[in-house]
Amino acid sequence: MSSDIKLQIEAEVKTAMRARDKQRLGVLRLIMSEFKKIEVDERIELDDSRVLAILDKMTKQRKDSLTQFEAAGRDDLVAQESFELDLLREFMPQPLSSQEVTAVIEDTISEAGATSIKDMGKVMGLLKARVQGRADMGEIGALVKAQLS
């Protein structure tokens, strides 16, 4: 089963080549090389959930780099990282609003029958599949912890 998102990115690579958009093409090739590396290392074909996990990881890396470059006053690198971050976000699903995140957390807690902080692992496992790429798992973890304690 091939990933729709991966196919979309492959099509964008071709479009960027035709348009001679070197900056966009470079970032798209970076994304594709990350996919290829994992496919070769693990001998699998990526599905949408795995593609989203990779894109999410790359997005987090760009956010961290952006923060560090801003602190160092490197405006040239800030612009590049911002461009890469915006391009990665094009392929990510729409982020959940805070109300939607709260509703998903409450539904998952009741579905898992969680009553204490000991059940947090079970809840987080269910939540990860539901909100993959649409919310920051660090923030969700803090909200779950607050609701269970």
Domain boundaries, the chain: 4-90, 98-148
In the CATH scheme, what is the code of domain 98-148? 1.10.10.410
Q: How confident is the model at residue 41 (pLDDT cuts 50, 70, 90)?
A: very high
What length is written for the chain? 149
pLDDT number for residue 2? 64
CA 127 to chain centre: 14
Q: Which CATH class is domain 4-90?
A: mainly alpha
CA distance 51 to 45: 10
Q: Which residue has the higher pLDDT, 134 or 74?
A: 74
Can 4-90 and 98-148 be said to share one CATH topology?
A: no
Is the pLDDT at 105 greater than 70? The verdict is yes
Q: What does pLDDT average to over the chain? A: 90
Is the separation of the CB atoms in 48 and 5 below 8 Å? yes
